[in-house]
Structures are given as structure tokens and as C-alpha cells.
Amino acid sequence: MASSLSPFFLFLITCSATLITPANSLPTFFPGATYQSLIKQAKTPKPKLPFKVHYFPQTLDHFTFQPKSSKIFYQKYLINSHYWHKGAPIFVYTGNEGDIEWFAANTGFMLDIAPKFKALLVFIEHRFYGESTPFGKESYKSAKTLGYLNSQQALADFAVLIRNLKQNLSSEASPVVVFGGSYGGMLAAWFRLKYPHIAIGALASSAPILQFDKIIPWSSFYDAVSQDFKDVSWNCYEVIKGSWEELEAMSTQKEALAELSKAFRTCKSLHSTASARDWLWTAFVYTAMVNYPTEANFLKPLPAYPVQEMCKIIDKFPSGATKLSRSFAAASLYYNYSRAENCFEIEHEVDTHGLHGWDWQTCTEMVMPMTCSKESMFPPSGFDYEEFAEQCQMKYEVLPRPHWITTEFGGERIQKVLKKFGSNIIFSNGMQDPWSRGGVLKNISASIIALVTKKGAHHVDFRSATKDDPDWLVEQRRQEVEIIQKWLNEYYADLRHA
């Protein structure tokens, strides 16, 4: 897929490759979130945010009437009512795959525009993430509990909570606009399609709703990551592309793990050469995603335009240096820009944002095949659905449903579906974000608008405004505000004449 991010995600990228180890050990990425080994969940302090925390008694299963369906769990949501008054708009963030504070902390755009619209801000946590776990510590135990984790249940959660909130506020006439980034952006767009009577519009940033089945080429994502580096420096692209072969050659040496542990400055000795590969791979993918024009700390603390900074590191090395050593130095920028790390926990990364449930989603409905072409700076690879399904069967005792999302929300004809049945959706994308290739990049109708920026990265428009923002980003946000204002004007005009 904050506003994301997993989205972030990345959910799905299951590339089959021949490098060093079998395909099933390749890293999995998702919009809106950051790759983790998921060995344990970190105890990190929550950011201080201008929101009040609430918990809503949510229904476990909205679509059946089995005895367990009516079980209640407490869904977390955040509210900022500082500028709001009765009848004014309600802006809702449709939470994605992680704890809701993370997304709220990285969606400053909504806070920035709240005064103009006198808007109530609501951030709803996605079921099975953060504190919104229906079965507590047992939530991820098996398919019997995880079976209630899917996008349709999440959308229904949002609908029920929003309706209840408006009733409790005695403000049922308040118009609702939903916002979401990455996987959350997909949810926002789908929510507008599924529940048009609840939300008058949706702003879906970096939402790869076309990444399913064969709607776009499966190599699009990794080709885009590679293009980001290639655009900065051909030498940088060639060095990274050649580093995998050097890593593979090194893996055949007698003391490979000891040498790699030393070269990669690991805190503990490596148990697999695949860990070193995944560590590099992750750094390059996520840096391309969050190639923001200003300093940021979404996935990791990074400088402005971090892809350029990585390539500067590579290009400054003397010609005799190995490609692997140069790639390691560049990747270190992603993991240690703050220079706080003396060594790297390559095999012991912690899950700082509560992403446990995403593997389940990729093994059930969020099947987004990805491959690496010869144009990619990653080793050429294919996608083997049978192998992927076997892994899911072994882990969860379930089989993926690769065509379910396109059946539920629209497949190759989704743009025609949107044109005929949809309205009031903004799809915003930046072409430096590899997830943009799975997004809507052209206007579908007069009210389904694509805002595309050449230099934009992963839902950069949702970040807080700064004095250093480039003109193109300021203009993108201005257009979004203008379109939302138009929706609200039309809504209130209809309300007056009703």
C-alpha cells in the first residue's frame, strides 16, 4: 500500500527468484508498512498527537448470523474536534495495516486543512491491527480467528462506526469525506463505491487498486523502483544491479556467513545469506517509495530525496571498490541516517507498528503478483502461484483467492465501473512511488479525478506542509482542497433545497 505506507502494502510482493535461496524466502512488501522479521513487537512510545482516544463496541462479523457473529470487540479510533461544530464536515481516515497512531502522525494534511473546513477529524483503526484485536493475544492464533480479517469486514466496521458517531453527535446531516493512503487509500476508494450513502467523497492517495490479477504488467513495481535509481545515476543503478551476483558468489565461500556478518556490521552472526540480501532489497525498495522532497521519518528517519543521497554514496566510492560494499554503504543510509546504530540487527528487526495481520491478508485476498524483469536492478524472476499457495496452506491452512478483490470491487473493467457507478473520488499518485503503477493515473470522469505528480512519492500529499515543500506539492494539495470544497458546496446546496 500512512498514511501511509504498508502499506504499505508491501503486501504481496512474492517474487520468485533464483538468487542464493529459494523463492519463498524473498522479502514481502506492502503499501503503507515497513518490512520486518516480525520476531517480536517493540515497546515504543506512542507519538504525542492532538487527538482523544476512543473505543467503539464493534461487531465481529457483519455478514453472517452465526452465534459468534455478534461477539463484540473494541475498535480504537482517534478524534480531534477542535475546529468542529454541529453540521460541519467529518473527515475520516480509513486505517490500514498498523496501529492508528502511526498513520495519524503521518497524515498532517488532514490537521492542516481542518481549520478551513471546520472539520471533525476521525482516524479509525483497522480490525486486527494496533489495539483493535477481536480476540486479544489469541487474534493471530489460527485461521479460526484470522478468518474475520478482510477488507469487506473492515469497510463495514467503518460504516457502522461512522453512522453511530453521527447519531451520538446529533449531527446526522454532517457530510463525511474519507481519506486513506496506500492500502488505506484502496479502502477509501472502495468505501465510496460500497457506501456512497455514508461518504460523499474519497481522497485515495497512492492506492494501487489496479495491482490485482493481470490488470497491469506484473513487473511494473520493480521496474519503477529501478527507474528511480536509474534517473539519478546510471552508475548507481548498475552497481546495485551487479551487487546481487557478488553476494551470490560470496555465499559459496567457506566462511560466507562469518564474512558477511563482518561486512554488514551485524550485531549477531548471520544464519542465512538470504538475510543480507533481504536487508539490501528492503532498503532500496522502501527508499524509492519514500523518496520525499523533505526530511521525513515515516518508515525510517531519512534525508530529503534519499534516492539521490544513496546514489551519491555509491558514486563517490573509488573505482576499485566492490559493488556489494558500495550497495551496503548506500543501504546503510536507510537503516542508520541518524547515525545512532553501531551495528545492524539484520535478522532481528522488531515490528514497531503492529503489522502481524498482513501476512494473513496477502495469503487470502490481497494477492498482488509481482515479478522482476531484465530491466530491473533486481535479479530477474517470475511469480509461481502454486508455490505461493502452498506456502499459505502450510502457514495458515488456507488457500489464497487471487481473483476475489477484482470480483468484489472490479477487475479489468474497474475504470468503467467507476465511471458508471462512482463519483467524487480523487486518486493522487506520484510517479516516483513504485505503487503508482497500480494506481489510477488518468481522469475517469468529471468527478473521478487523477492528480499525478512527476516527482511525488508514497502519499507525500498526506504529509504535513512545511516551508520547504516544492511548488508542485503545494499545488497538488491546493487542488485536493479545491475539489473537496466543491463536493461540500454541492452537498450543502442539495441539503438546503431538499
In a domain, 306, yes or no: yes
- Kindly indicate the confidence band of residue 40, based on its pLDDT and cuts at 50, 70 and 90: very low
pLDDT at position 332 over 60:
yes
C-alpha dist (Å) from residue 450 to 203, 228, 376, 377, 447:
10, 21, 27, 29, 10
Is it the case that residue 38 has pLDDT exceeding 60? no
Last residue of a domain, one of 336, 368, 389: 336
* pLDDT of 351 above 70: no
The C-alpha atoms of residue 73 and residue 65 are separated, in whole angstroms, by 16
pLDDT in tens, 78-93: 999 999 999 999 999 9
Residues 198 and 251 in one domain: no
Please spell the DSSP secondary structure of 352-392, one letter per residue.
TT--TTHHHHHHHT------B-TTSSSPPBB--HHHHHHHH
Q: Say yes or no: 289 and 199 in one domain.
A: no
Among 233-247, 331-345, 400-414, which is the least confidently predicted range?
Answer: 400-414
Provide the pLDDT for residue 16. Answer: 37
Confidence of residue 302 (pLDDT cuts 50, 70, 90): very high
Q: What is the pLDDT of residue 46?
A: 67
pLDDT(2) > 60: no
Judge if 61 and 205 occupy the same domain. yes
User: Strands, DSSP E only, in 161-313?
Assistant: 176-181, 201-205, 296-297, 301-302
pLDDT (mean) for 335-341 = 93
Q: Is 410 in the same domain as 475? A: yes
Whether 321 shows a pLDDT value over 80: the answer reads yes
Q: Comparing 45-59, 78-92, 189-203, 225-239, which segment has the lowest mean pLDDT?
A: 45-59
**What pLDDT is attached to residue 245?**
96
pLDDT of residue 31: 45
Query: What are the grid coordinates assigned to 202, written together?
Result: 474519497
Confidence band of 356 (pLDDT split at 50, 70, 90): confident
Are 98 and 199 part of one and the same domain?
Answer: yes
Residue 268: strand, helix, or coil: coil
Residue 24 banded pLDDT, cuts 50, 70, 90: very low
* pLDDT digits 0-9 by tens, 442-461: 999 999 999 999 999 999 99
Tally Cβ neighbours within 10 Å of residue 268: 12
For residues 419 and 124, what is the distance between their CA atoms, to the nearest angstrom?
28
Domains of the chain: total: 2
pLDDT tens digit string along 182-218? 999 999 999 999 999 999 999 999 999 999 999 999 9
Report the amino acid identity of residue 215.
Answer: I
Same domain for 145 and 91: yes
CA distance 272 to 108: 40
196 grid coordinates: 456512497
Domain boundary among 311, 336, 361: 336
Q: What's 83's DSSP letter?
A: T
Rounded average pLDDT over 397-423: 86
Taking CA atoms, 363 is separated from 143, 176, 357, 367, 387, in Å, by 11, 32, 10, 7, 12
Distance linking the first and last C-alpha atoms of the chain: 39
Least confident of 11-20, 43-52, 289-298, 330-339: 11-20
Q: What integer pLDDT is reported at residue 44 of this predicted model?
A: 55
CATH number at residue 76: 3.40.50.1820
Mean pLDDT within 226-254? 95
Of 6, 398, 380, 440, residue with least CA distance to 190 = 440
**Helix, strand, or coil (residue 62):** coil
Of 43, 77, 37, whose CA–CA distance to 355 is shortest? 37
Catalytic residue numbers read 182, 433, 458
200 and 276 fall within a common domain: no
Mean pLDDT of the region 115-125:
98
Are 203 and 61 in a shared domain? yes
Do 135 and 258 share a domain, yes or no?
no
Lowest-pLDDT range, 20-24, 181-185, 322-326? 20-24
Q: Which structural domain range is residue 417 located in? A: 52-213+405-497
Give the Cα separation of 439 and 206 in Å (integer): 7
CA distance 225 to 372: 10
pLDDT tens-digit profile of 359-380? Answer: 999 999 999 999 999 999 999 9
Burial (Cβ within 10 Å: 0-12, 13-18, ≥19) of residue 420: exposed
Quick check: 4 pLDDT over 60? no
CA neighbor of 461 nearest in space, from 292, 284, 227: 292
User: Do 288 and 173 belong together in one domain?
Assistant: no
